[in-house]
Amino acid sequence: MERDALAPVIIGAVVVLAIAAGLTITGGPTSARAEKRDLARLADLRVLASFARCVADITGSAPTKLAPMGDCGTDLPLTDRTTDAPYRYEALTAKGFLLCADFERPGLITNFDIAGAVWQHDQGCFAFTQP
């Protein structure tokens, strides 16, 4: 095969292989949608964490359960907007608490997703233990 015919075949083959390998990592449109749902859950957990910290600052201890409180916010995202499953909350210490959700791609979540929290991969929870 001459160069004019061989080069495009090689380029095409490399590109197709790279795209196929890339798709095995990214997972296609369904996985991408699951990531978007996880991002929405993370946004909700940030709101709930901010609420719990506010309550802890005002009252001196983390709330025992998540219930709207005037000074810290009344419009709380208490359930997962895609599945309607409630987010799980648990007070740990005086000001420490745990916030959990059913993440679909937990492997992509890190400590950096919610400031000041520790990601517990196995439980799907963020632990807030820093004062």
Q: Which residues bind other proteins (CB under 8 A)?
A: 3-4, 7-8, 11-12, 14-15, 18-19, 21-23, 25-26, 32, 35, 108-110
Closer to other proteins by Cβ: residue 61 or 119: 119
Min. distance of Cβ 56 from other proteins in angstroms? 29
Q: Which is nearer to other proteins, 34 or 69 (CB)?
A: 34
- Residue 102 and residue 109: Cα distance in Å, rounded? 12
Specify the 3-state DSSP secondary structure of 125. strand
In the chain, the N- to C-terminal Cα span, in Å, equals 70
33 vs 79, beta carbon nearer other proteins: 33
Q: Under a CB-based contact definition with an 8 Å cutoff, are residues 131 and 95 in contact? A: yes
Give least dist CB 114 to other proteins, A.
14
Residues 44, 114: contact at Cβ < 8 Å?
Answer: no
Q: CB of 15: closest distance to other proteins in angstroms?
A: 4
Q: Are 21 and 75 in contact (CB under 8 A)?
A: no
